[in-house]
Amino acid sequence: MRYSKLTQINRSNVKKLKVAWTYHTGEKLDPGSTIECTPVVVDGVMYITTAKIHVVALDAATGKRKWEYTPPKTGRVNRGVAYWTDGKAKRVLIGTVKGQLISLDAKTGLPDPNFGDNGIADTRIGLDRDVSAFDYDITSAVAVYKDLVVTSIVSSEGQPGAPGDVRAFDVRTGKEVWAFHTVPRPGEVGNDTWEGDSWRDRSGTNPWPGYTVDTKNGLLFCGVGSATSDFYGADRGGANLFANCTLALDAATGQRRWHFQTVHHDLWDHDNPCPPVLCTITRNGKKLDVAVQPTKTGFLYVFDRLTGKPVYDVKEVPAPASSVPGEKAWPTQPEPIKPPRLEPAGITADDLTNVTPEKAAYVRNWVKSLRLGRAYEPPSLEGTVVNPGYHGGATWSGASVDPTTGILYINTNNVPAVQKLVANGNGGYDFAGYTFFFDQDGHPANKPPWSHLTAVDLGKGTFVWRKVFGEHPELKAKGIPPTGCQNFGGTIVTAGGLVFIGATQDEKFHAYDKATGKLLWQHKLPAGGYATPCTYSVKGRQYVVIAAGGGGKLGTKSGDAFVAYALGAK
């Protein structure tokens, strides 16, 4: 739930935060490189991954390096490591490209010789197809449950590609223990949601954002991505389980406990972009363990954690039909009655930018050739302006929850996309490429705000507060009121009354009053903080650290730093 009981840094003194130390990886950065890692701190040692996906152990009090490990294959991004111990052996676990699952001695950084092939297990072994030519990359931190390590993969966005199965491995040996088919096979629950043999060799449908684990109840939770191809589904008729589901599995066996599909027959890449948040809320005077799923569609689904029953009723609303030949868009889509949608859905002429007359004229001229519509308007041959776009709504960073209040804190985007299909000459249609609905200056072409930071009372299903999040300095300099900006990287909340978050294109690290949403402190990072921060204590001193890797999807300058803050630092 990304909550800390630490209180040394609090509302009354957060303005006194200073940089305690900065660790520079020293890597030669590729264009657009980024760091999305959330550090893990155990016994005064911080474990991080770099832009080049090296694993580094630091003294958490000083930022001095203890050891560094370089995987034989690197690439993509990585969101961090997991830590496992049985009280004697201590391991740092990381997944990287080509399905590499790596186990390192936490003290030395050396590969565990008993795990896989000298510390590296090739998780591509045992799949139902050869994936050597496809994407099969582990980018999110792996999950640990007892003596199991569970992987999630990034696969192709189109056909053909690798399967997106949930898979668990023995933490000591690297051997596969169980697998759950996210595209059900004949005889498995959900196979009938795929017309004909469309399930066969299907890619996507992958829990790429990783997992949350309920150790008390032995449950593993994930949000599942869309089925391939992301924007065209005429060759996969049906609702397409378990794509776009919140999925609860028995962590020991991989057996399905429950599921809930948040988008039927996805045509928009509306993945569930993060694992659900686990917490306990008070509802009608009673305590209830829940799993809360943020979505790209902008909804928060609140489920009874054990049964999967929605806490707030979910209605099926009519959805537009597709104009693409052969495509059968699902006639309805689910929408919970509470909490309110975090960002708008659909777009009309009244929603187009009004930031400046020049921007407005440019966008009005552009949309003459495009299709505008309500929520769930399918991609089209002329191009459809889709809102929410590729980046949500919610993103991979998910949300944090204060367990003492049942209040959730989440950052979201309000940035539409243009989704267009073109005939491929084989009787079907292909995606024309990722186009953002931006004006001539690279700003979103809809009316601001373009992002929010929101506090949600999960027990009541209502907003506590809601703030425009981030700014574009070039617009601020022209006297334009705060617009918000695209953001990636999540929140943490503390008993000191604070919400910490980086995430914004303006490259600032922020601290907000969790009760009111008032901005109490911010500091300019050496590069954008497009990761979720971490807070910890060493020898009685509390620190807050964030990766300042910049780059990535937001296109700002790249960086190589981890920056830690503390009170009274020099």
Catalytic residues, by residue number, are 269
CA 91 from centre of chain: 25
CB atoms within 10 A of CB 175: 12
The C-alpha atoms of residue 23 and residue 98 are separated, in whole angstroms, by 28
Three-class SS state of 358: helix
The C-alpha atoms of residue 396 and residue 413 are separated, in whole angstroms, by 12
| CA nearest to 67, candidates 38, 92, 85, 87 | 92
The C-alpha atoms of residue 395 and residue 443 are separated, in whole angstroms, by 19
Give how far Cα 180 sits from Cα of 177, 222, 248, 345, Å.
11, 12, 11, 33
Across-strand partners of 90? 85
The C-alpha atoms of residue 333 and residue 265 are separated, in whole angstroms, by 9
Tokens of 342: 């975090």
Residues 46 and 81 sit within 8 Å (Cβ to Cβ): no
CA angle 310, 316, 317 (to 5 degrees): 135
**Integer distance in angstroms from the first to the last C-alpha of the chain?**
31
CA angle 462, 467, 469 (to 5 degrees): 130
The C-alpha atoms of residue 476 and residue 462 are separated, in whole angstroms, by 31
Tokens of 428: 């079907």
Residues 491 and 501 sit within 8 Å (Cβ to Cβ): yes
The C-alpha atoms of residue 311 and residue 288 are separated, in whole angstroms, by 9
For 26, how many CA atoms within 13 A lie in the half-sphere containing its CB?
3
Eight-state DSSP code of residue 415:
-
